[in-house]
Structure 1
Amino acid sequence: GGRCGGGEGGGSVVLPATHRGGIPNFFVLGQVDGLGVAYYDSTTLELSPTQDWMCQAVEPSYFRSKRQELLGYKEGFQRIMGRLLERYNQTGGVHTLQLRVGCSLRDDSPQAGVLQYAYDSQDFIGFDGQRGLWVAAVQPAVLSKRRWEADRPWCQFLQHYLQQECVKTLRSLVRHGRETLGRQLPPEVSVSCRDAPDGSVTLSCHARGFYPRPIHVSWVRDEEDILAETDSSGILPNADSTYYTQSSLEISLQQDGHRYACRVEHTSLPEPTLIWGKEGVPGKKGLLPPGVLVPLVLAMLAGAGAAVAGVIMWRRNRPGKGMEEDPWRQGWGGQSPGRGQGWGEEGGGSERSGGGQGLV
């Protein structure tokens, strides 16, 4: 982290506010392709870049002006949170309100933006930037939809923001952060096994330290894809801006004797193959380009026969079916719509947050 004279937030922006015993906590995280580039919280009241190139990607006045806007957003989130507690008839406990704002590019062409509220990890309401309308995900959001759509100038600003200003900022962030955003870090992959009391065995495939975020992990049995349900951790961030994921597969006693492989697909990987030998013993790996390392970890399973677990990894030229992927480019930023046009909730017409000046 650090400070600089200028900046424009990048990636999707997440603005969560937590209600804990009447004391809200508010923070903002700016990201480009899943990489954190800026951070703000209600404790320090400072908006700071987390990547050095942020300072070159934005105007010198950006961080100062956005800091003032975020003070207004915090107040607006507190009001929204209070009304949601009333709507859901909640009097205590920990509750979270999140706002995700983002835009994306594919081959430098703008794609549909996103502006989505969630309450307690469930979709609440979202903005359709193409039609300029709000879409309620749950019944308690219908009142918000009606009140917010009554403010047509604000809806028009949101459309302009998602389609123009956010995209302009994103292009600058991508240009200045090209070296960092374009890096390719291959996953370190291993397979482990764990015996269960009922005699079954759980295979776990671990992929660590990869970037960018999109990755696909699947299982193969005797050269064929396994379509059965598996248990996944999802794609989780590491402190060093890389990612981790784990996929587990439970094998019953009746399946002993088969050969199992974990297959990992990531843009950083070449296209090696793994050839299995006979009688449950792996054979030689296929020819690999120089410098490519394919981890192979064998897990000998208890039972009448021996099962083998290994790793198959290769590169996909483009994302394929089933690969979990962030948008090609996600961004946030843009110019303010004018004083007093922050993010608020309804109440006697269109209530605004007071100090906010547009989306972060």
Structure 2
Amino acid sequence: MEVSRVSMKVLLFLVIIFPQTSADTHTLQFLYTALTPGENFTAVGLLDGEQIVYYDVNIRKMIPTSEWIDVADDRDVWKTQTQLMQSDQENLKQLLLTVMKDFKHTEGVHTLQRIYGCELDDDGTARGYDQYRYDGEHFLSLDLKTGTWIAAKDKAEITKEKWESTGHHAKYGKRYLEEECIKQLKKFLAPQYEIIACGFGPAPRVVEWIWVVMVTVGLLTIFIICVAGVPIWMKRKNDSKSVLTPGNPSSYK
């Protein structure tokens, strides 16, 4: 009974010390905003919520904002990103004008926003998304499972039908989010882990596991001592009772 109680206490302590934790998630996302009237356009790229790059509309070029990001990749990648962004700028501007006509909005300030990106868990699980908002309200989103666009408004059906008539937008978006985006995310994350490992000691996950091993070994040691010590303690207790029991002949020897 004593051994069972000790075992339960140690196991309970292990559960308290090491609760189940969800895998860490890393994200790479891009946010575009087109504003009318005028030629207003902004675009930023975020890694784990931190801005790493932005699009300078004056020189029509992608500019890295973090020091390490310039080392993270070769310059050809940023040239490619710049070309894609220039194309996306024109596409979003034209789409905004088209959507305004569909809503019969001929004047005033209107916005079209696009947010797309991918997520990667430590266990390898990957996800992606691509969404559009018109004047701050949900407009269109890409369903990666079916490879089709979902219209949030009746007017969005017009754009959806145009895009799905060729299937180009959905196929390209799905392939990018499931393949290229994940590759970019892994590439951008690599320098961070190198900096942590080489410049500032072991990576956080390594430190965490070292701590787990140390505490586990300590707890197992306590467990072994408790399990092995209970029978010895009980034997000594019984021997003590035997020695001090009145009328026991051996106690008077």
Shorter-normalised TM range = 0.5 to 0.7
SS of aligned partner of 1:113: strand
What do the CA deviations read for 1:251-288 (whole angstroms, capped 9, x no partner)? xxxxxxxxxxxxxxxxxxxxxxxxxxxxxxxxxxxxxx
CA displacement 1:161-206 (0-9 Å, x = unmatched): 111110111011122234899xxxxxxxxxxxxxxxxxxxxxxxxx
Tell me which residue corresponds to 2:151. Answer: 136
Distance 1:71 1:153, change over 3 A: closer
Computed over aligned residues only, the root mean square deviation of the Cα atoms, in angstroms, reads 2.2
CA gap 1:19/1:179 in 2 versus in 1, 3 angstroms: farther
Query: If the length of structure 2 is used for normalisation, what is the TM-score?
Result: 0.62
Give the drift of 1:154: 4.0
Higher relative contact order (CA 8 A, sep 6+): 1
Give 1:124 deviation, angstroms: 0.4
Q: Is the 8 A contact 1:26 1:41 kept in 2?
A: no
Q: Verify: 1:16 aligned to 2:33, yes or no.
A: yes
Amino acid at match of 2:148: L
Alignment-derived partner of residue 267 in structure 1:
none
Shift of 1:86: 1.0
Q: Give 1:28's aligned residue.
A: 43
Structure 2: tracts of 5 or more residues without a match: 1-26, 197-253
Q: Which residue of 1 aligns with 2:95?
A: 80
Greater fraction of residues in strand? 1
Verify the 8 A CA contact 1:103 1:110 in the aligned structure 2.
Answer: no
| 8 Å contact from structure 2 (residues 28, 181) kept in 1 | no
Q: Greater share of helix residues, 1 or 2? A: 2
Partner of 2:85: 70
Residue 145 (structure 1) aligned with residue 165 (structure 2): no
Could you tell me which residue of structure 2 aligns to residue 124 of structure 1?
Answer: 139
The answer to whether the 8 Å contact 2:151/2:157 transfers is yes
**Whose radius of gyration is greater, 1 or 2?**
2
Letter in structure 2 aligned against 1:157: Y
Distance 1:83 1:153 in 2: 18
Secondary structure of the corresponding residue to residue 139 of structure 1: coil
Residue number in structure 1 paired with 2:67: 52
Q: 1:82 corresponds to which letter in structure 2?
A: L
Checking the alignment, whether the CA contact within 8 Å between 2:143 and 2:149 is kept in structure 1 is yes
Consecutive aligned runs of 4 or more in structure 1 exceeding 6 Å deviation: none
Deviation readout 1:5-24 (Å, 9 max, x if unpaired): xxxxx72100111112xx12
Question: Structure 1 residues 83, 154: CA separation in 2 closer, same or farther (over 3 Å shift)?
Answer: closer
Count the aligned residue pairs: 171
Percent of pairs identical after alignment?
A: 29
TM-score by length of 1: 0.45
